[in-house]
Structures are given as structure tokens and as C-alpha cells.
């Protein structure tokens, strides 16, 4: 040992054991990356995300039409745990909702009117395409 060293020297067997541990850890990490980078897994995650987003939007639309429920106040990303591997698009979002009272009658009438116009437009478009 040198005069300034405070740690005892490691034996070649200890160094080899540490290298083996690190190789196993890296191999496990690579296996995890291979699994999460498969196109089928990426597609499944994206479909799940779209379903979740669509569900939230449907809940919000239902709350607007019915006049009850909750409305989204804010959403923000959650920071991943330290040392975790985060692939692009794997962000976790936390959304805060707030209860609200009844919609004013004018808003309900406007929503029904817009819905009726959309339905009439879609029916007219379908009828027009069938004639051709």
C-alpha cells in the first residue's frame, strides 16, 4: 500500500467478480431494452396510450354534456426514478381533475346544436357518396 492510500488493494479474484457482476447487470439491461424496443411492444404501448387518452377525452366530453363529473385542471410529467431507463414515449402523466357545477342552459343548447349539425353533415355526406 502507498502512504496516501486508505483502501486496501483488491485481489484479482475480487476484481474479476466485480467485472462479472457488471457484465450480468449490463446483459440484463440490454435484454430489457431489446424487449421494450420490439416493434410489437412499442405499438402495444402506443395503442394503450391512445386508448387512455381517448378515455380521458370521452370522460371530459361526457362531463360537459351531462353537466356533472369533473374537468381536467392540469397535467404534468412525472420524473422517472433515478437509474431507470426511459424510452421515448414512455412518459408518465399525472392529471388533476376538479369537480364543477351544472353547465348553464346556453352551453347545453349550444352543444346539442353543434352535435345536431355534425350528425346532419355526416348523414348528408354518406347519402351523397351512396348516390355516386
pLDDT at 116: 92
Count the helices and strands in the chain (H runs, E runs): 3, 2
Domain ranges, residue 107: 103-132
- Going 23 to 29 to 35 to 39, the CA torsion angle's sign is negative
Residues 70/98, Cβ–Cβ less than 8 Å: yes
Domain for residue 1, yes or no?
no
Residues 58 and 95 in one domain: yes
pLDDT at 48: 85
Residues 87 and 109 in one domain: no
Q: Quick one: cell of 17?
A: 467478480
Residues 41 and 61 in one domain: yes
Residues 27 and 75 in one domain: yes
pLDDT at 122: 92
Residues 52 and 90 in one domain: yes
pLDDT digits (tens, 9 = 90+) for 55-84: 777 777 776 666 555 666 677 676 766 666
- Helical spans, DSSP H, in 1-132: 12-36, 39-66, 105-131
pLDDT at 46: 87
pLDDT at 22: 94
Residues 23 and 65 in one domain: yes
d(CA 42, CA 87) in angstroms, rounded, equals 10
Single pTM value for the model: 0.36
pLDDT at 10: 87
pLDDT at 25: 94
For residue 110, give the H/E element and its range.
helix 105-131
Q: Quick one: cell of 79?
A: 420524473
Ranges in the chain, pLDDT < 70: 1-5, 63-73, 76, 78, 80-95, 97-103
pLDDT at 27: 93
pLDDT at 20: 95
69 by Cβ neighbours in 10 Å (0-12 / 13-18 / 19+) ranks as middle
pLDDT at 59: 73
Residues 89 and 109 in one domain: no
Residues 75 and 125 in one domain: no
- Measured N-to-C along each axis, helices 39-66 and 105-131 cross at an angle, to the nearest 10 degrees, of 130
Amino acid at each position: 500500500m502507498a502512504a496516501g492510500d486508505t483502501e486496501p488493494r483488491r485481489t484479482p479474484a475480487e476484481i474479476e467478480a466485480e467485472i462479472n457482476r457488471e457484465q450480468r447487470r449490463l446483459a440484463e439491461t440490454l435484454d430489457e431494452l431489446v424487449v421494450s424496443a420490439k416493434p410489437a411492444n412499442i405499438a402495444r404501448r402506443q395503442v394503450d396510450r391512445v386508448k387512455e387518452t381517448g378515455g380521458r377525452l370521452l370522460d371530459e366530453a361526457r362531463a360537459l354534456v351531462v353537466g356533472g363529473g369533473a374537468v381536467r385542471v392540469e397535467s404534468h410529467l412525472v420524473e422517472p426514478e433515478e437509474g431507470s431507463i426511459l424510452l421515448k414515449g414512455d412518459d408518465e402523466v399525472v392529471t388533476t381533475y376538479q369537480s364543477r357545477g351544472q353547465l348553464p342552459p346556453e352551453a347545453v343548447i349550444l352543444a346539442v346544436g353543434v352535435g345536431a349539425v355534425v350528425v346532419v353533415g355526416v348523414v348528408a355526406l354518406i347519402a351523397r357518396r351512396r348516390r355516386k
